[in-house]
Copies of this chain bind each other. A is one copy, B any other.
């Protein structure tokens, strides 16, 4: 599964090279979508199907469920690796995550996260400072 943190460049055509060690896992298909905290989530097709069918089964008569499904499902896009091992990120996702040129690709076990380099630094700094407090909360959640 995915672990590690890599920095890669997004080119003018919206292409992003996936770190070599993650490629084989994504060969059978992958899906990017809007994530939380201003980053993108990248799932293998398999992981995605699980999540998507849960989202699709939310009742569309509920306002919040509709909103969430729209963000995640309508935000999703099939991606595949080109011969060089790159994926293409659609405009609307680049804008959503305010992606500039330098992108951080982070492995989070069952998904990859794509961050704009600046947002990542900022988030990381904030999280490091709060880490002790957060840790205590996590302990309450059974970790």
Contact = CB atoms under 8 A, between A and B. Distances in A.
Contacts of A90: 4-5
A87 interface: no
Interface in A48-83: 51-56, 58, 60, 64-71, 73-78
B58 A141 contact: yes
Interface string A103-143: 00011111001000000000110011011101101100111
A37 to B, nearest CB: 7
Interface residues of A, number: 55
A23 B101 CA distance: 34
A64 B141 CA distance: 12
A3 interface: yes
Contacts of A138: 58, 64-65, 68
A10 interface: no
B108 A68 contact: no
Interface of A: 1, 3-5, 21, 31, 33-34, 36-37, 51-56, 58, 60, 64-71, 73-78, 90, 92, 96, 106-110, 113, 123-124, 127-128, 130-132, 134-135, 137-138, 141-143
